[in-house]
Amino acid sequence: MRVRKVFYTLFTILMTLLLLFVSSKVLKRKYSDNEYRRFYKNSSDYEVLFFGPSVVHYSISPMQLWNDYGITSYNMANDSERLTMTYYNIINSLDYCSPKVIVVALDSMAWAGSKRDNTLKDHNFIDAVPLSTNKIREVKEVFEKNEFVEYLVPFTLYHSRWNELSKEDFEIDNNVMYGIEPQQGIFSMQTPTDDQYEESRFGKVEEEAEVLDKIIELCNNKDIELVFIYLPSGVRGGDQKLREYCSEYLADKEVPYLDMLYLDTIEYNRDFYDAGHTNVFGSQKVTDCIGDYLNSNYELTDYRENEDYCERWGNNYLEYKEKIRDMMSENQEEYDALAQ
Amino acid sequence: MLFNSIHFLLFFPLVVFIYYIIPQKLKNGWLLITSYYFYMSWNPKYILLIMTSTVITYISGLLLSKIREKSETKETSLCKLVVAGSFVTNIGILFFFKYFLFSAGLFTRLVGLLGIQVVAPEIDIILPVGISFYTFQALSYTMDVYRGEIYAEKNFLKYALFVSFFPQLVAGPIERSKNLLKQLSVHHKFSYENFTNGVLLMIWGYFLKMVIADRVAIFVDTVYGDYETYGGMYILVATMLFAVQIYCDFAGYSIIAMGAARILGIKLMENFDAPYLSQSVAEFWRRWHISLTSWFKDYLYIPLGGSRKGKVRKYINKLIVFLVSGLWHGANLSFVFWGGLNGIYQIAEELLQKPKNNLLKLVKVNQNAISYKVLSSIITFVLVDFSWLFFRANGLRESFAIIRSIIRNYNPWILVDGSLYQCGLDNKNFCLLIVSILILLIADICKRKGIIIREVILKQDYWARCLIVSVSIVFILIFGVYGAQYDASSFIYFQF
């Protein structure tokens, strides 16, 4: 009798956990999984990883790098990502992958000291990270104490999505973007100048240098090449002191730094979808510049010669290319008309 | 530590597990430690207050016992002195923390009317959670020993646990020593029956609290928070829903407390008995917050003379009890008004009983017909719900402003044009709420008919029981209101 009661209790617990597992899968916001699932699924594939805020997320295309240079990479960037979070995201990603090169954008240093602006954006990345001691460490270090549960058990946040479920919540999205989220639309603006700098923002940047040191140390310890970049953007065009500071600081540390703010191929009158981010046209130019830099400076394998990779990556590229073509065709006329 | 917090969900299983693996003689000590930890999770300093109350009433009990042994008579002046001492110190602590600022403010205003300017003291007093509950529980012990209804408890640990038993410490039920103290002396072995009953009670309590009360709170808070914008029908709907909120919030807590205690092998008293199905306000009060109503009956109404000293005295006593009950709920005149209103309802009911019966006879209305019972319940609900308006509003002045806002705004169309969905709950949430309230109504009707749904579930085959428990837990976790989007809603009765 006693054994049967123990069995009933265990059966109930197991059934509850099973039901919870299924409902948490359905109720979860799918964005994070769709963006980063492929990374965790085939984590041994990647030789280059990109980290940073939205400027990276919207502009560096791993599929283009594959097609043009044979580089296998994943864009692990996330909107509004602070440098501290980038550091922990690198740690988490290295649990699954051993890349040859890590590329980190320093654009987020312009927000040094400012508060995180949107919790959901943080979920966009962290929800897909499998539970591990490093994830727990990240949540502890980056978020407020009262947010622990929300980030470690996202069901506590998403359970209330029951009234907004749609067809997409019951399907698995075969996302072939490898982390990039290219943007449609054209925002025309003047090329930024160096006199837009706000003096008050610079003070906190020096504090962020500690995080830079940690990232450098982490990559040195793991024997990974590290490149810092600064991407084209209209709103932070004037962060001259920040860029100078980074340039000097990283030169001292002997870490390569690629400042692309005034990249000669970028046209500020048509390569952006808003004042801060490149559109799908601009992202191709940025990716091309990065690809060229990586190809010239590092010994990366050209996986286009590998049959296995060719089949998987090649097929995904075709799908990716079609999507990009659709996106571009909508604005092609306007884009061409803005040619200088 | 709230019952609907992660903290409690980790704390409680650990308490239960250790409770059943340690020897019997350590069980009460373990429960006392965990109860103090539970209380200290709000504010560690206030443990001193509960300890003070415990020590005073414990010593009072021993002194009463000693005095009686010597004098062999029940009521000596020394006994009365001990009881008075226990009451004065306990009520004194309660008064200072709960009523001092209110009384000082009231006094300042009153003497201000006489033209005398007095500056009210400005001190920051935080009301200790559950002080009214454990103070009343401890005082009931003193009275019970004084009346000779129980022997004084000699074991201090056991007595301290009686005052601080964590499931009912901060929001009741206000237990009697005759029930709880006796159970703390019994050998407690793990019982599967207690366990399953306790789990089902807790699930029901969480359903009431998290799915209904906290969902209703979103709507009620929106409307009451801006009653000048949301006038007329909005406030009527919100007030009607507040009646549901306070019931589900408070009954939810009591039922979780009963379930948690039951898992530990202790049966707490029922605190609610389908109160909104009552056919009179007097009946409502026999079925609402039973532990407090019976406390006031035993320790205030009867000592005042109850109904033994004529009708006028009976009505005065009743009014006093309800005014004090109002004050017990909060240091604000709106609570006193709310209590007084409920007292007046009951006096009016008694006074009108005879003419009402004569009228019903004259027009040949069958008082046993279901239609009559339903109508009586609806009228009772309307009366009780009107008084809840004073309970919910922030002060007496705001209560009357809200009533004015109901009268001045004519907007019945909001009931059908979708405007109600703009007050924090969309249409899907509203539908879920209505379904949940219907489930509650069915459960209450069943209870009145003597059908306990919990017992019906426990009679089912194991697979059905497992399925019901699993689905219920997952249902609450999905449809409950909690997590990052909402602040963990505190239980309304914690403030008392």
Closest Cβ opposite residue A150 in set B469, B477, B483: B483
Residues from chain A that touch B214, judged by Cβ atoms under 8 A, are: none
Q: What does the pLDDT read at residue B30?
A: 95
The residue written with tokens 């006031």 in the block is B296
A280 or A308, which is more confident: A280
Query: A157 and B6 in contact by Cβ < 8 A?
Result: no
Instruction: Compute the nearest-CA separation of A11 from chain B (Å).
Output: 7
Is B470 in CB contact (< 8 Å) with chain A? yes
Residues 179 to 198 of B: which have CB under 8 A from any A CB? 192
Q: What does the pLDDT read at residue A118?
A: 62
Edge to edge, the sheet with strand A48-51 lists A73-75, A48-51, A101-105, A225-230, A257-259
Query: A15 and B429 in contact by Cβ < 8 A?
Result: no
Please state, in angstroms and rounded to a whole number, the distance separating the CA atoms of residues A270 and A127: 34
CB-defined contacts A:B, below 8 A: 55
Residue A249: pLDDT band with limits 50, 70, 90: confident
Longest CA–CA separation in chain B, Å: 76
3-state secondary structure of A129: coil
Q: What does the pLDDT read at residue A200?
A: 45
The answer to which of A193-197, B31-35, B296-300 has the lowest mean pLDDT is A193-197
Instruction: Compute the nearest-CA separation of A16 from chain B (Å).
Output: 5
pLDDT digits (tens, 9 = 90+) for B235-258: 999 999 999 999 999 999 999 999
Is A5 in CB contact (< 8 Å) with chain B? yes
Query: B485 and A160 in contact by Cβ < 8 A?
Result: yes
Q: What does the pLDDT read at residue B493?
A: 58
Phi, psi (deg, nearest 5) at residue B228 = -75, -35
Closest Cβ opposite residue B484 in set A8, A16, A157: A157
The mean pLDDT value for A188-207 works out to 66
Query: B470 and A12 in contact by Cβ < 8 A?
Result: yes
With residues binned 3-state (H G I as helix, E B as strand, rest as coil), the percentages for chain A, rounded to 5, are 60, 5, 35
Residues 13 to 32 of A: which have CB under 8 A from any B CB? 15-16, 19-20, 23, 27
Please state, in angstroms and rounded to a whole number, the distance separating the CA atoms of residues B262 and B250: 18
Q: Are A179 and A89 in contact (CB under 8 A)?
A: no
The mean pLDDT value for B301-312 works out to 87
Residues from chain B that touch A166, judged by Cβ atoms under 8 A, are: none
Residues from chain A that touch B2, judged by Cβ atoms under 8 A, are: none
Buried b / exposed e along B450-461 (16+ C-beta atoms within 10 A):
eeeebeebeeee
Closest Cβ opposite residue A20 in set B469, B474, B479: B474
3-state secondary structure of A177: coil
Query: B478 and A159 in contact by Cβ < 8 A?
Result: yes
- Would the pTM of this model clear 0.95, i.e. be above it? no
Q: What is the CA radius of gyration of chain A?
A: 22
In the predicted structure, residue A203 carries a pLDDT above the cut 80: no
Residues 6+ apart with CB under 8 A from A331: A184, A185, A186, A279, A280, A281
Q: Which residues of B are catalytic?
A: 329
Tokens of A282: 């601009």
Q: What does the pLDDT read at residue B236?
A: 95
The mean pLDDT value for A261-276 works out to 87
Query: B192 and A5 in contact by Cβ < 8 A?
Result: yes
pLDDT digits (tens, 9 = 90+) for B127-180: 788 888 999 999 999 999 998 888 999 999 999 999 999 999 888 799 998 889
In the predicted structure, residue B263 carries a pLDDT above the cut 80: yes
ipTM greater than 0.85: no
Q: What does the pLDDT read at residue B224?
A: 93
Q: Are B125 and B87 in contact (CB under 8 A)?
A: no
Q: Are A71 and A65 in contact (CB under 8 A)?
A: yes
Query: B478 and A150 in contact by Cβ < 8 A?
Result: no
Closest Cβ opposite residue A163 in set B192, B428, B469: B428
Residues 267 to 306 of A: which have CB under 8 A from any B CB? none
